Each structure stands twice: as C-alpha cells, then as structure tokens.
C-alpha cells in the first residue's frame, strides 16, 4: 500500500471534510486543516532563525529551547529556564497549532505569531539580547544577508523581517490526522469505546464550553478558578497585567488540548504534573464536578487521542559565524 505523505493525507482530509461538513457541524471539535497559505522561502529562513541560538545574548538559547519540537513544542518544565539560569514566571505554552490561537502568550499581549516572535529575544529573563544585537549578529553572517535579500526582495535585515520569517515557519507547525480527527472524518475504529465514552463525558460535563474548535481551545480567555479559587504561588495575573482591569485578574488564554499528552506539566504555573491531576483540578475548579477515578481515566484516554502527526523535517544547517560576529556572552 502506498504510504501517504503528511501533505497528501492533509489533502485527503480536506476532501473528506468537505464531504462531511454537515456531520462535523454537530460536533464542537473540528479536524485540523492543513496550512492554507504559506511563503515557502520565508518558512525555510524562519526555520533557521527558530533554531539559531545566536539570537540570544548567551548564544545558547533558541526558540526551540523552550518550544522544543521534539517534545510537543514545549520544554516539559513548570516554568522555563532563561538567561543565566533564571527561572521563568510562567509555563511555556506549546508552539504546535499556535497559529490557531486568538492571541499569543497566556495573557494575550501579542496579537499574532509575528508580534510574539520578537518578545523573547529582547526579554532579559529569556534570550536577553536586544533587537539591535540580534540584527547585528545576522548582518555579520554573509549567508544570512544573502538569504534575507533573496527572500524579501530587498537589501537589509530588520526585526520585522526576522519575526515575519519565524512566524511563517511557526504557521507550518500544525498536527493533523490525530486518531480523534480520523474518527471525526468517519473512521469509527480510530478510537476505542472507552475513549469515545471519555469524549461524551468531556462534552456532557461542559469541558467543550472552553475547549472547542480545531485547536480544542486557544480561542478564548477564561478565569482560572470559577467554582473554587485556584491556589498558586505564581504571580502571573493573566489579562489584568495587560488591560489593567481587576475584572481580568486570573483570566488566561484557554490552552489548546491538541497533543496534550506531550505538553505536561499543565496550567499557566505548570503545577499539574499529570493529565489525571489536571482533569481532576479542572473538573472541581471550573465545573464544580468531582470526577470519579473511572470518569477521569475515560476523559484522559480521550485527550490522548488528540495527539496528531508531529512536525518532521531535516534539521536546518545554520551558516557559520564570521570574525565580525559579536561573540556570545553566556556568563555574567
């Protein structure tokens, strides 16, 4: 049997999706669609920039450090490690399917992927460079100078082009063809009865009020601790830190549940280490429901069916630094 490529499978999924549109409309979750429009040249450049640690002051931290594409697009730490081993203030959300988010960051302070991409580079607790320093590094490397000119059709490198390229690469990091998507598209054997029962519980318990759509989340902001207050040591204030409104305290972007078995630990503070623990806490705090051990197991089993095809590609070979490249400063 001929083995479909991921792109080929995506095209098949689109055809089936069109044929089954009315059926899918009855479900609060929809299959992930393939990327509709990308600039391939920008994607290839953005891929290099995503993996290039020279955009950081230390020369050690890249986008992939906290959003590791071998680990579900995150780092599996409660909060990330930044420059000089600083402890980050918040859990790193997955980059996978992030193009489906209504906004970026837990508090929504970036409107889109392009705006988000520039933040960590200049954040003193993360990559700790500056946009000026990062551009200086790229300008000192002839291969980058040439590639930017070829990709954007003009001379010069600036932070706008850097973030545009990174964002274009990140748009490709979707994970279609999960077993649950296969089930949605008509393959009744793609998930087990136990997993399907978990999905029914997920719906009837009210989880789908926030976790819906293609990304199974990411499309709204909700208060953490609706029925019971959420007790945490984290100082993150959610949207209130952006809007200044007290009504937005502890409102965070609802995380996507796609690939959730890979993106532990959970919540903005990374306090829930296991999926079982996360399901229990969400049931009590958000829904006022105490799931039994069996119910919890069913919901967790359903959530694991949301793991899709992970991004696969050849690792980019980064162009070498030159004598003019500013040296990294990993210490002090």
Structure tokens at 232: 């945490």
Other Cβ atoms less than 10 A from the Cβ of 159: the count is: 17
Residue 110 forms beta bridges with which residues?
104
H-only helix segments in the chain:
6-19, 21-24, 40-51, 63-66, 113-122, 131-139, 142-152, 159-171, 179-184, 193-204, 240-243, 275-282, 293-304
Q: What is the rounded distance in angstroms from the CA atom of residue 330 to the CA atom of residue 328?
A: 6
SS3 at position 266: strand
Q: What is the rounded distance in angstroms from the CA atom of residue 153 to the CA atom of residue 137?
A: 20
Apex 282 CA angle, 104 and 201, nearest 5: 110
Task: Provide φ and ψ at 266, rounded to 5°.
Answer: -110, 160
Catalytic (active site) residue 126 = yes
Q: Which residues contact 172 (CB under 8 A, 6 or more apart)?
A: 35, 38, 43, 311
Of 87, 126, 155, 228, catalytic: 126
Q: Which residues are catalytic?
A: 126
């Amino acid at each position: 049997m001929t083995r479909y490529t991921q792109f080929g499978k995506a095209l098949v999924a689109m055809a089936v999706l069109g044929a089954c549109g009315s059926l899918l409309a009855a479900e609060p979750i929809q299959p992930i669609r393939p990327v509709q429009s990308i600039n391939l040249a920008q994607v290839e450049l953005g891929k290099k920039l995503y993996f290039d640690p020279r955009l950081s002051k230390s020369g050690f931290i890249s986008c992939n450090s906290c959003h590791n594409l071998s680990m579900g697009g995150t780092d599996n730490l409660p909060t990330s490690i930044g420059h000089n081993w600083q402890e980050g203030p918040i859990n790193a959300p997955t980059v996978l399917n992030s193009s489906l988010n209504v906004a970026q960051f837990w508090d929504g302070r970036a409107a889109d992927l392009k705006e988000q991409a520039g933040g960590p580079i200049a954040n003193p607790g993360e990559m700790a460079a500056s946009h000026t320093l990062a551009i200086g590094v790229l300008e000192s490397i002839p291969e980058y100078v040439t590639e930017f000119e070829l990709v954007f059709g003009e001379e010069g490198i600036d932070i706008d082009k850097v973030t545009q390229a990174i964002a274009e690469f990140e748009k490709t990091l979707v994970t279609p063809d999960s077993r649950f998507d296969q089930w949605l598209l008509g393959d009744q054997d793609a998930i087990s009865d136990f997993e399907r029962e978990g999905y029914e519980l997920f719906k009837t318990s009210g989880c789908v009020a926030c976790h819906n759509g293609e990304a199974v989340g990411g499309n709204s902001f909700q208060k953490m601790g609706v029925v019971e207050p959420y007790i945490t040591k984290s100082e993150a204030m959610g949207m209130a830190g952006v809007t200044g409104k007290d009504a937005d305290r502890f409102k965070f972007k609802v995380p996507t549940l796609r690939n959730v078995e890979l993106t532990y630990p959970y919540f903005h503070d990374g306090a829930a280490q296991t999926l079982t623990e996360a399901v229990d806490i969400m049931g009590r705090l958000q829904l006022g429901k105490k799931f039994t051990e069996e119910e919890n197991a069913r919901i967790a089993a359903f959530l694991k069916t949301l793991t899709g095809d992970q991004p696969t590609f050849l690792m980019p070979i980064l162009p070498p630094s030159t004598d003019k490249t500013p040296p990294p400063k990993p210490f002090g």
